[in-house]
Structure 1
Amino acid sequence: MRKTACEAIVLRITDYGEADRIVSFFTREEGRLSGIARGAKRSRRRFGGALEPFAHLGLQLKIPYSGLTSIESADVVTIHPGIRVDLSQIGCAAYACELVERFTPEGEANPRLFRLLSSYLERLDSAPPSPSDRRLFTVNFLKILGYQPPLENAPISPETATILARAMRAGSFGSIHFPDAALHEADRLLDPAVAAHLDRPLKSLAFLRECSTL
Structure 2
Amino acid sequence: MSATSGVPAQSPNIDITVVMQLLGSMRTTYGTLNQSLNNLKEQGTSIKELGPTIQDGHNQIRDLNTEIERHDAQRASVVDTVKNTIKGELREQALAEMRERINAQIRDEVQKQVKVQVDQQLVRDHLQGISLPEQVEGGRVQITALRAAVTNSEARRANAAINDMQTEFKHVVRADGTRSPKWPANVSSLNALSEEDVAELGRDYGLHLHQRKVLNMNGFLSHIGVFGIRLT
- The TM-score normalised by the length of structure 1 is 0.23
Larger Rg computed on CA atoms: 2
Larger fraction in helix:
2
- The TM-score normalised by the length of structure 2 is 0.22
